Structure 1
Amino acid sequence: MKLVGMLDSPYVRRVAISLELYGVDFVHEPLSVFSTFNEFARINPVVKAPSLVLEDGTVLMDSSLILDYFEALAPADKKLLPQHAEARAHALQVLGLALAACEKTVQIVYEHHLRPAEKLHEPWIERVTGQLVAAYSLLETHLAQPTDEPLTQAALTAAVAWSFTQLKLPTVLEVDAFPNLQRHASRLEQHPAFRNYPIE
């Protein structure tokens, strides 16, 4: 199997870390949707990262859909989402917040790096930044109680999201205002699966 995409994408990175935790063998092909667009298009014409090429040639895309496939295949002791409905709803709530934070970070980065400066729309940037802050403020509350439990999909995605935002938007969020998130991400970044797929 082949995972296509750059590790500076939180979506690619969460898939890579998750696949290692599932015990899935795969090769990482670090293609960019920008600088290697044509090469990426030969694998997946949609050029969406991450893309995962299964052994039979099937191409899966979108991190949540890729991980849903492997969660279904994983044995009970390797699953990253709880099976009980109430616990799963809580995990999905945290996941939704973390993925929203990733999305809003990407939107802000694209606004500043892809759109001409004279076409920047400040009210839009303020709105998206407010959504980003709201997502992380809610995550901060969810992470108020430290835990040493085995890695879950919600926990790892929250850490991946926070590290991504801190890398891409270091001046937008004050780290000191989110001590629980900072502690959580710092701890998980030391995990072997995180260290094997460092943010680029």
Structure 2
Amino acid sequence: MKLIGMLDSPYVRRVAITLAALDIPHEREQLSVFRHFDAFREINPIVKAPTLITDDGTLLVESTLITDYLDGEVAPERRLTPADGAARLRVLHLVGFALTAADKAVSIVYEQQLRPQDKQHQPWLERVSGQLHAAFAALEAAAAMRNAASPAPWLVGERMTQADITVAVAWRFTQHLLPGTVDAATYPSLAALSARAEALPIFVGAPL
């Protein structure tokens, strides 16, 4: 397999960490959809990151579809998203909010860094920022409740799941690309989760 895309994308990084967590052999080619558009287009005509090239040459895009495929490549007990039951529902709930946080953070980055300042739309930025904070507030509440109810280290139990990976990646992306936008002191449980995750070799091996 080969993963195409830059690790400064939360979606590419999410897939890279998932590959490492599942111990799936792969190559990584860091191509930017901006700086390497033509080279990327030669691999995938829609120029979408992440792109995963499977062993049979199939192109997969969208991080959630890719991570679902990767889960199917390992034994059920090793999957990062449980196959069924309450644990699966919980993981999907948390992943959805984490991906929303990532989406809103990316929207702010694009608006502030790619659009000329005189063309930026402040009401839009305020709206997206509100959605970003709402997503992190929901995740903080979930993480804090988990911490109060159980000594388990991760959001859905003793094992790291896709929820932990996606939440940690979204948090780190926001802190790194939008410093000062989300105060870590307001979300202490998420900050602690991120620090715990980022210290793991699977995260260290896919640096932002």
Alpha-carbon distance in structure 1 between the residues aligned to 2:193 and 2:56: 38
Tell me the TM-score normalized by structure 2: 0.93
What percentage of residue pairs aligned between the two structures are identical?
48
CA contact (8 A) 2:133 2:182 kept: yes
- Give 1:133 deviation, angstroms: 0.2
Alpha-carbon distance in structure 2 between the residues aligned to 1:83 and 1:109: 34
Asked if 1:35 is matched to 2:44, the reply is: no
Structure 2 counterpart of 1:138 = 138
- Give 1:73 deviation, angstroms: 2.4
5+ long unaligned stretches in structure 1? none
- Give 1:115 deviation, angstroms: 1.2
Alpha-carbon distance in structure 2 between the residues aligned to 1:14 and 1:30: 14
- Give 1:143 deviation, angstroms: 0.7
1:1-200 correspondence runs (5 A): 1-144=1-144, 145-146=146-147, 147-148=152-153, 149-199=158-208
- Counting matched residue pairs gives 199
5+ long unaligned stretches in structure 2? none
- Give 1:84 deviation, angstroms: 3.1
Alpha-carbon distance in structure 2 between the residues aligned to 1:17 and 1:174: 25
1:181 maps to a residue whose letter is: L
CA contact (8 A) 1:21 1:78 kept: no
Tell me the TM-score normalized by structure 1: 0.96
2:64 maps to a residue whose letter is: S
- Give 1:54 deviation, angstroms: 1.1
- Give 1:57 deviation, angstroms: 1.2
CA contact (8 A) 1:4 1:28 kept: yes
Runs of 4+ in 1 over 3 A off after TM superposition: none
2:10 maps to a residue whose letter is: P
Alpha-carbon distance in structure 1 between the residues aligned to 2:58 and 2:82: 27
Alpha-carbon distance in structure 2 between the residues aligned to 1:174 and 1:85: 34
- Give 1:156 deviation, angstroms: 1.0
Q: Secondary structure at the match of 1:28?
A: strand
- Does 51-60 or 127-136 show the bigger shift? 51-60
Alpha-carbon distance in structure 1 between the residues aligned to 2:31 and 2:38: 10
Q: CA RMSD in A?
A: 1.0
Alpha-carbon distance in structure 1 between the residues aligned to 2:80 and 2:56: 25
- Give 1:85 deviation, angstroms: 2.4
